[in-house]
Structure 1
């Protein structure tokens, strides 16, 4: 499968973010995947006490619908982050869009203190069955909660898509954790971060053996692309032969 990592600066403006996503989508072809950062559509500014009160749930849903129309038209697959309302409550969500079927959502469970001011936690860690592939999704600091990653691997996931928005200088240490999650579970990890300054932790595609296949430049908007073969991922970690 061909996968595109779209490292973008996440703005505090839905229309600007939507336009950036549309521009990236224009270069994605049938059967290809594209991944965007955490809250890449709505923007992510939880340090603002009025963050979610300034968001318009109807506008967000309309934008998600338009992006889904693009996905259907292009025959591709898209995972993007956005604040999203569910039953009147805001969630920090990843939206999974495919050419057939409805939009699917994962809501972040491990909320930061800032997140918790605005969002309710998601109920569980799902496995997404997309085009014959079992995929897991994690958001930002959930990188630091290994039990959720182990749960996904035990459920047969061969790739975890990690939508990130970690731009503080001390977040750079997480690069080692991204590699560790791939290596310890013998699976692919696709981690896509916000490119806003002062970003040092970037975006990565890591192979099951821990090799960095893609690494973005810091504070740079770019789309990185690679071809990967999920059929090479062993069903059970104990079956691996690379170590």
Structure 2
């Protein structure tokens, strides 16, 4: 399985610019790419309070529809973040788009302090079967709380995808966190961050990374824009759980109703 990490510099509140760069990356991906992963809120950037109502879109809005068309044309899947408008309620959302349509969407459950009052938190974790592997999505600050990744592990996740918008001086925090989340859930983890400057002088830390189920770094980016393909050896999932299986051996389980859907989706509702 080949996953392309697309570490870009975005423009906050400038959907036209961000969408153009997203579509360009999809159009120029390698022929054997299975999935492209972009940063947190890739399509709108981090819109401020004055911009959010103007730029946020529903999941069937024009920007995500354009991404879906590009995914179909290239026969590739795409994980992309956006500011979601659901009937006037705003969410920091990331969506896994396959050539067939939306495979999985996730609303950030752990909001960074600056997001509180702008976005509402999501109320569930979810996984879906995609290309024969069970995947789940987290967003940025989520990975600093081990229960978020554990919820995906409890739902059977084998690949944890993280759209990230981490800024200085917190880059080392997410480097440590993404390695720990992969190792403790014995799953692959792929995290893609922004670079460059944003609103209010924020400087994004880059450091996009791919981690194997043993917690080992497969790839780590620097602080500049880059595109890098990692190949996942799915046999490592079984190897990591051969001698011991953290999910089977644990004695504490996360609370919340677990829902199994006929299409293979699994959800853990936050109580």
Q: Is TM (by shorter chain) over 0.5?
A: yes
Aligned 1:1-243 pairs, distance under 5 A: 1-12=1-12, 13-28=14-29, 29=31, 32-45=34-47, 48-57=48-57, 61-102=61-102, 104-197=104-197, 198-218=203-223, 220-234=224-238, 237=241, 239-240=243-244
Corresponding residue SS for 1:234: helix
Deviations 1:36-87, CA, capped at 9 Å, x for gaps: 0000111114xx3323133253798201101101111111111011101123
- Larger proportion of strand: 2
Distance 1:77 1:7 in 2: 16
Q: RMSD between aligned alpha carbons?
A: 2.2
Deviations 1:82-103, CA, capped at 9 Å, x for gaps: 1011233111000110011446
Deviations 1:168-209, CA, capped at 9 Å, x for gaps: 223433211111111122111101001124333510001112
In structure 1, runs of 5+ residues without a counterpart are none
Distance 1:231 1:81 in 2: 29
Distance 1:26 1:135 in 2: 24
Taking a change above 3 Å as real, the CA distance of residues 106 and 58 of structure 1, as seen in their structure-2 partners, is closer
Taking a change above 3 Å as real, the CA distance of residues 57 and 232 of structure 1, as seen in their structure-2 partners, is same
Distance 2:243 2:136 in 1: 20
Taking a change above 3 Å as real, the CA distance of residues 56 and 188 of structure 1, as seen in their structure-2 partners, is closer
* C-alpha contact (below 8 Å) 2:139/2:163 kept by paired residues: yes
Number of aligned residue pairs: 238
* C-alpha contact (below 8 Å) 2:212/2:236 kept by paired residues: no
Taking a change above 3 Å as real, the CA distance of residues 43 and 208 of structure 1, as seen in their structure-2 partners, is same
TM-score normalised per structure 2: 0.81
In structure 2, runs of 5+ residues without a counterpart are 198-202, 246-271
For structure 1, which segment, 51-60 or 164-173, has the greater mean C-alpha deviation from structure 2 after superposition? 51-60
Runs ≥4 residues deviating over 3 A: 101-104, 235-241
TM-score normalised per structure 1: 0.90
